[in-house]
Each structure stands twice: as C-alpha cells, then as structure tokens.
Structure 1
Amino acid sequence: MPAELAAIPAVASVPVTAHAVAAQVAVPVWLELIAIVVSSVSGALTAREKNLDLVGAVCLAALCSLGGGLLRDATLQVGNVYILNQPAALPAAIITAAVVFAIPTVIAKQDRLIAVFDIFAVGLYAATGADKALVYGFSPIICVTMGFFTGVGGGMLRDVFLGQVPHIFRRSNFYAVAAIAGASAYVALASAGISHVIAVIACVVVTMGLRWLSLRFNIMSPTEVDLTRVVPRRHRARRAAELADDASREAPATKPRLNRPDRSTAELAERRRRTLADIDRRREQERRTAALDRLKRARRKRNQRKLDI
C-alpha cells in the first residue's frame, strides 16, 4: 500500500499531451516526397559548394530535408518520429543527394524552380510541425514554434554543422519570418475549427506569398532598431535639456578659471621659434662643412701641382 501511494505523484506528473486529442492532418505521400527531395537538393548543392565528399552531401541532404522534423520530434517527445515512421523519407534524401552529387550541373540550372519548391516545402513543413503540436494539446505559441523548427530547422542545422552563422539569423529576405507567419496562420485557422486541409493550404500560401513579396520589393529583415529616432524632435530636445540639467546638478563644483593667456598658443609659438632656430643652425653647419670641403679640395690640387713640378 505505501508503495502504491508513493507511485501516485509519478503518475500524476505525466503530461496531458501523452495522447493525441485529434488525428494529425493527412498529407499525401507524394507531397511529402517532393518536399524531401527539394530540401535534399539544397543540402547536396551546399555540400558541392563546400567541396565535401559523398558522405558529406548525404548528411547535409538528410539534415536539410529531415532535420527540422527530427528537431521537432525530439523536442515534443510525443507520438512517432517521422524519420523512423516514414520508410521512404531517408532513402529519398540519400538517392537525391547521390544524384545531385553525380550530376550537379543539370540540377543547378533549375535554380528558380528549386527556389519555388523550396519555399513550398518550408510552408508544408511549417504546417505539419504546428499540426503535430496542436493535436497533442500544446499551447498555440508552442505549436507555432514547432512549425518554425520543422520549416527552417533543417537549414539551421546544416549551417551549424558547417560551422557558420545560420542563414535565418542573418539579414535577408523573409524566410524564417515567412515560416512563422505560415505556422501562425495554420494554428489560428485550425484552432478556430476550420478544416485542417484548408489550414495547410493557407499556411503554404502565406509562407510563399510573404517570401515572394520580400523578393519582389526587396524587403529585408531588420538588423537593428533604435526607437529613439521615432520620438518627435521637440521631445528629444526636451529630454536632452532634462539630462543636461541633471548632469549639471550632479556635477561637483569647480574652481573659477583665472584670466590668463592661452597656454596652447604660447606653446605653439615657442615650438615654432625652436624649430626655426634648429633649421638655421643646421644650415650654418652645412655651410661650414661645404667650406671645409672646398678648402680640402684646393689644398689637394696645390699638392698635386707641386708633385708634378
């Protein structure tokens, strides 16, 4: 009996999200494979740019395509692990990496098509990541975060493995912001009772739309924000005057300055006088040296004439 009572707190500590409160959204397998293949292409091309071998290309392709979902599943610790539950996921990433590694020029020429499918994959991943957290009863902000991790986590892990600052943390056109907006749209629609299929479509449309707008009008993510520049000028002047008054009140009393000549001007004049005197002294020394040289040459000439005679 005491052992049973001691086990009660452990049972009570089990989170309520241990079982799904609804079924996860059903995404067609061919759509999942398209997203995996496109993301794998991105990772394999990056491996080619960094002069990695075939193993490096496969690893980067798997990270780009499946790393976000793995990060989500490891964080949530509920339900199935996608990379283990979908038998075609990892082989698709490996085959894609091998093909791109062998014939990169054919794939690299389709850069615009790859870019379109890449942001489509980000939107699809963001929707599925947010959906998994939502069906297991997590809060909306956790659902959006999981959608963000699933959408851009693969690229983030790729950059970390390459030892560089993740691209999503640098100033660029909307990419991570688009994933967050898409996941937020999905969570908002799904929580409102709208069909999860419609919510997935809305998530993809919002993600791709924001990405396109940022590229079309060159909208960049900000690197620094200074709200003091937004304050009206008169308020800034008033604030500066208040700070000056506070500084004058806090400053210690100083002795009154005596009326005396400007030392800096006198020092400059004295320095100029010494410089001119030094120049005159050097010139006089050069003249004396030149005169001595002339006398020596004349003396040598006289001695030479005497020897000739």
Structure 2
Amino acid sequence: MHPVFAAAPAAAVAVAQSGVASQQAAVPLGIEMFVVVVSSVTGVLSARQHKLDFVGALWLAVLVGLGGGLLRDIILQVGDVYILNQPLALPTSLIAATITFVFPMIVERQDRIIDILDIFAVGLYSAVGADKAMVYGFEPTVCVMMGFFTAVGGGLLRDICLAKTPSIFKRGNFYAIAAIAGSTAYIFLVQGCSVNNIAALTFSTALTMFVRWLSLHYNIQSPTEVDLTRVVPRRHRTADVAGARREVTARSADALADRRERTLADIQERREQERRKEALSRLKRMRRKRGQRKLDV
C-alpha cells in the first residue's frame, strides 16, 4: 500500500479526535484528581490487607485508580489514552498511594467515608466512561459497557493480581449493577432525552450512589441462581405436582411390593432353618438312645 494511503486513516483519526475531545463532558480537574486519589487509596488499603510491600502498594493504587480507564481506552482503540494525556493523573495516584502507605492512620478508621467516596468514584467513572465512548460514535450498548469497565475495571485488575475471584463476579450488594445503572442512565439522558452532559453526569452519579445505598440498606444482593419453576403458571404447576405425586405413589407401591417379597423370602428361609435344626436334634436323640441301649446290653 502507498504510504500516503496508509497515513490517511491515521490522519482522519487524529482530526476526529481533535474535534471530539472538546465535546466530552467537562469534569472539573479538582474533582477528577480527587476521584483518582480516592480510588488509589482503596488500592493501597487492599495492598496492606494482603501484606504487600511498597512497590505492590503503588502498583495496586495505579491499577485501581487508573486501570479502568486504561482498560476502556485499550478496548476502544481511539488513540486517546487518559493516563498518557492527563499529566497529573499518574503522579497524583502515586503521591496519594505513598502518603497512605507511610501514614495509614489517616484513613485506617475512616471505613464509612472511604466507602461513600468509593461509590462516588464508581458513579463518576461510569458516566465519564460511557460519555467517552458515546462521543466517539459507538453504539449505546458499547457505551454502557465502557462505562462499566471504567468504573469497576480497576477493582477487577486488582483482584486478578491478588489471585482472587473478582468481587464484582461474586454474590453481594449491588456494586457492578450500580455502575451499569449509572452508565445506562447517562446514555439514556443524553441520547434519548437530550439532557446537558453535566446534568446527566450529576444525575447518573447520584443514581449509582442511590442504587448502592438501597442494596446496602435493604440487604439486596445479586442473584446467584434462578429458579424458573416459580414463574410457571399455576395450572401447569398443579399438573406437574399431580404427575410428581403419581410418580411418587407408583414408586411407593413398587417399593412396598419389593419389601413384601423380601419379607416372605426371609420367613421361608427361617422356617427352612428351623426344620433343619429340628431334624438334627431328632437325629441326635436317636443316637443317644442307641448308645444307651448298647450300654444296657
């Protein structure tokens, strides 16, 4: 292929990116870095729980803080990688991780606050991730998936590095489902209702936090199995129950006949043994009588 034609797609992508970058939801830089700090702190706390060293703590902090966005950008392949284009992201994550690792007492007893800030970060990440995919022209389902990856991808990579089953795949209160709800709400508001990006981002973040709070308050957990027999119409269930009862009755009759046959066989065998014992005892008595007669003679 001629070099001019080979360079054309790359140039087109670069032009497209320069146009779409200004259309993305403008999150204030302070909030952006605050969310990176919160996520990085949760990564360091996980590292301390698993007795990792300083390097391990930094690695988990970067994974949790920026891994979801990196995973999203790798999948989208649009050439705009957040961790590379935002010069403050990586240093902020590393500084927050270092301070937390050296002075853990700052956050050790703030579990409730950390949980609230963490789900706030999940809500914001889910909306921003969905927004980026939408701006680059991807389908709504892809946008929702990218919001999901951005929100929980860091925790997913953290659990994989710790050789654990990712927590988003295990039964528990809504976390991943809350992220999906937030990204879905964002795409619906922006594309379906033409709501302003910032307003939609605020609402979807609040919705993510509300769904998480709802599941914690009422202890609603993600299902691990589904029993469709509960949704079968009653008449079908009645027929099934009647059939099951007939089957149980037939099995009971067969079992009763089997038991009767075994009982009769046992009785017959015992009678045969008694007859043998009686014959042996008669034979012994006859032998004793014969022996007594010989002695008398």
Which bracket does the TM-score occupy, shorter chain normalised? 0.7 to 0.9
**Residue in structure 2 matched with residue 45 of structure 1 by the alignment:** 45
**Residue in structure 2 matched with residue 68 of structure 1 by the alignment:** 68
**Residue in structure 2 matched with residue 136 of structure 1 by the alignment:** 136
Q: How does 1:213-224 map to 2 (within 5 A)?
A: 213-224=214-225
Of the candidates 262, 265, 273, which is equivalent to residue 263 of structure 2? 265
| C-alpha deviation, 1:234, in angstroms | 2.5
Give 1:171's aligned amino acid: R
Give 1:56's aligned amino acid: G
C-alpha deviations, 1:2-51, integer Å up to 9, x for none? Answer: x77xx69x96xx99x96455611111111011111111111100000101
Q: Secondary structure at the match of 1:78?
A: coil
Identity of paired residues, percent?
A: 53
Instruction: From the superposition, tell whether residues 272 and 221 of structure 1 become closer, same or farther in structure 2 (CA, over 3 Å).
Output: farther
Instruction: From the superposition, tell whether residues 271 and 81 of structure 1 become closer, same or farther in structure 2 (CA, over 3 Å).
Output: farther
Instruction: From the superposition, tell whether residues 267 and 123 of structure 1 become closer, same or farther in structure 2 (CA, over 3 Å).
Output: same
C-alpha deviations, 1:212-259, integer Å up to 9, x for none? Answer: 1111111111111111122234312324667999x9xxxxxxxxxxx9
Q: How does 1:1-309 map to 2 (within 5 A)?
A: 19=17, 23-191=23-191, 192-239=193-240, 262-266=260-264, 268=266
C-alpha deviations, 1:136-191, integer Å up to 9, x for none? Answer: 11110110100000011100110111111111111111111110010011101111
Q: Where does structure 1 differ by over 3 angstroms across 4 or more consecutive aligned residues?
A: 17-22, 239-245, 259-263, 266-274
Instruction: From the superposition, tell whether residues 238 and 200 of structure 1 become closer, same or farther in structure 2 (CA, over 3 Å).
Output: same
| C-alpha deviation, 1:125, in angstroms | 0.5
For 2:133 and 2:100, locate their aligned partners in 1 and report how far apart those are by CA, in whole Å. Answer: 33
Instruction: From the superposition, tell whether residues 260 and 87 of structure 1 become closer, same or farther in structure 2 (CA, over 3 Å).
Output: closer
| C-alpha deviation, 1:102, in angstroms | 1.6
Instruction: From the superposition, tell whether residues 184 and 260 of structure 1 become closer, same or farther in structure 2 (CA, over 3 Å).
Output: closer
Give 1:95's aligned amino acid: I
Give 2:113's aligned amino acid: L
Q: Secondary structure at the match of 2:23?
A: coil
For 1:120 and 1:261, locate their aligned partners in 2 and report how far apart those are by CA, in whole Å. Answer: 67
Q: Secondary structure at the match of 1:172?
A: coil
For 1:114 and 1:260, locate their aligned partners in 2 and report how far apart those are by CA, in whole Å. Answer: 67
For 2:24 and 2:185, locate their aligned partners in 1 and report how far apart those are by CA, in whole Å. Answer: 17
Instruction: From the superposition, tell whether residues 45 and 266 of structure 1 become closer, same or farther in structure 2 (CA, over 3 Å).
Output: same
Instruction: From the superposition, tell whether residues 260 and 239 of structure 1 become closer, same or farther in structure 2 (CA, over 3 Å).
Output: closer
Instruction: From the superposition, tell whether residues 32 and 242 of structure 1 become closer, same or farther in structure 2 (CA, over 3 Å).
Output: same
For 2:269 and 2:227, locate their aligned partners in 1 and report how far apart those are by CA, in whole Å. Answer: 47
Instruction: From the superposition, tell whether residues 266 and 69 of structure 1 become closer, same or farther in structure 2 (CA, over 3 Å).
Output: same
Give 1:142's aligned amino acid: V
Instruction: From the superposition, tell whether residues 180 and 99 of structure 1 become closer, same or farther in structure 2 (CA, over 3 Å).
Output: same
> Are the equivalent residues in 2 in contact too, given 1:18–1:78 (CA < 8 A)?
no
| C-alpha deviation, 1:64, in angstroms | 0.4
| C-alpha deviation, 1:271, in angstroms | 8.7
Gaps of 5+ in 1: 248-258, 275-309
**Residue in structure 2 matched with residue 279 of structure 1 by the alignment:** none
**Residue in structure 1 matched with residue 279 of structure 2 by the alignment:** none
> Are the equivalent residues in 2 in contact too, given 1:122–1:179 (CA < 8 A)?
yes
Q: CA RMSD in A?
A: 3.3
Q: Secondary structure at the match of 1:122?
A: helix
| C-alpha deviation, 1:272, in angstroms | 8.3
C-alpha deviations, 1:99-143, integer Å up to 9, x for none? Answer: 221222331211111111101101111111001101111110110
Instruction: Choose 179-188 or 221-230, whichever is displaced more.
Output: 221-230
| C-alpha deviation, 1:94, in angstroms | 1.1
For 1:217 and 1:167, locate their aligned partners in 2 and report how far apart those are by CA, in whole Å. Answer: 20
Instruction: From the superposition, tell whether residues 270 and 151 of structure 1 become closer, same or farther in structure 2 (CA, over 3 Å).
Output: farther
For 2:269 and 2:148, locate their aligned partners in 1 and report how far apart those are by CA, in whole Å. Answer: 69
Instruction: From the superposition, tell whether residues 269 and 193 of structure 1 become closer, same or farther in structure 2 (CA, over 3 Å).
Output: same
Give 1:96's aligned amino acid: A
